Amino acid sequence: MKVLFGNVAHAAPLCGEERKVVIVEKEIHLLYGKPLADAIRSELIVIEGKEAGKSGEEAFFLISTLVQRGVTRDCLLIGMGGGATTDLVAFVSSIYLRGVPFVLIPTTLLGCVDAAIGGKTAINLPSGKNLVGSFAHPQSILIDFGLLRSLPEKEWVNGLAEMWKLGLVSDRSLWGCSISEASIKKAIEGKLRVVEQDPEERGPRRILNFGHTVGHALESATFYSLSHGQAVAFGCLAESYLSARLGRLPLEQWEEIESVYRQFPWNIPQKYNREVFLQSIRCDKKKGKEGIRFTLIDQIGHAAPFEGDYCHAVSPFDFQELLYWIENTWRQISSETSLGSPLLENLMEKEWVSSLMDVPQDSFSKKRR
């Protein structure tokens, strides 16, 4: 899997003579999509983007647009946007004409460190997140840190949540890390190593699902008003608690995890739909014949292998105890959120972030809402 760093407008994968189509989410199509399309002489398609738009309807719209424009297998599709957009474009690329080449350009920190990397494609169903998808790898993933300069605070937090998750399951040096160029590149390299061991998630790659059984269910249960990063952060906290409850994670390490997450910039709503939450958990893709399964950790920086399955079924009793903990902790954190959360700026390397802002005042330097 090829990950390239630098200015996307000058990246070699985009400089060929083939027909190209940039597919960009609506929020950034004037800021980044149209300038890129003009620079590389590409056509442009604007889609809704965002998690709620990662749907069968949006996929059908995109496929219909490609058909109407006469896009063929020798065209290059370029997905540009956050994780929901790169997921959708990758999914459509994998099924349109039984597969067309594509390149991904993530424009959020979450997209850079997680969503665009690994070859997973997906759309959501009303019954749960990422229930329809495929494995399809892009020709390349282009990381341009300059595209992050316009991110609002919530998007930095989303990416930080995935970086901390990788710290819990694989690389302890990322646990509780701040946001910097070095930590971002380390997170990208860490995910690539995991994916290369197990491209189609038959075993070791399941460690990357840590926090996502609970997290995806919470996204569905808040009808995607809860961001993916906030959901994953809460999911990691919940599944760390479960790891400790089941005797896998030492108590002192659970206490450390609980303490560090007090520094996380929480922003969660007061309520979620319990029935939707439970329905989503029941539909989780890790579920086996023995019931609901979770990825667990046995120390900070290491996921429990469970004889190569890297996930473990929990008893109905333990699951009910987890639900009780989730409901109590959710109330506590949501009430604290209303009083104000720790500042994100305390978790960012200020000089590096400032360097991103030190650019000419053109359309690429405007702030996103």
Q: How high is the mean pLDDT in each 10-residue block of the chain (369 residues)?
A: 89 90 96 95 95 94 98 97 97 98 97 97 92 96 94 94 98 96 97 96 96 96 95 98 98 97 91 95 88 96 96 95 97 78 80 75 43
* pLDDT of the residue at 369: 47
Residue 105 CA to residue 79 CA, distance in Å, equals 6
Please tell me whether residues 180 and 313 are part of one structural domain. Answer: yes
Number of other CB atoms surrounding residue 359 within 10 Å: 11
Please tell me whether residues 263 and 327 are part of one structural domain. Answer: yes
* pLDDT of the residue at 364: 40
With respect to residue 66, please indicate whether it lies within any of the assigned structural domains.
yes
Please tell me whether residues 61 and 185 are part of one structural domain. Answer: no
* pLDDT of the residue at 59: 97
Question: Any idea what the CATH number is for the domain that residue 257 is in?
Answer: 1.20.1090.10
Please tell me whether residues 123 and 168 are part of one structural domain. Answer: no
Please tell me whether residues 115 and 220 are part of one structural domain. Answer: no
Please tell me whether residues 22 and 83 are part of one structural domain. Answer: yes
* pLDDT of the residue at 285: 85
Which of 88, 120, 148 is a domain's end point? 148
Please tell me whether residues 223 and 308 are part of one structural domain. Answer: yes
Domain region containing 82: 3-148
For the chain, the domain total comes to 2
Question: Any idea what the CATH number is for the domain that residue 12 is in?
Answer: 3.40.50.1970
Please tell me whether residues 198 and 303 are part of one structural domain. Answer: yes
Please tell me whether residues 109 and 75 are part of one structural domain. Answer: yes
Reduced to 3 states, what is the DSSP secondary structure of residue 33? helix
* pLDDT of the residue at 263: 86
Which of 126, 148, 170 is a domain's end point? 148
Please tell me whether residues 141 and 157 are part of one structural domain. Answer: no
Angstrom CA distances, 270 to 218, 255, 284, 320, stand at 12, 25, 24, 21
pTM: 0.94
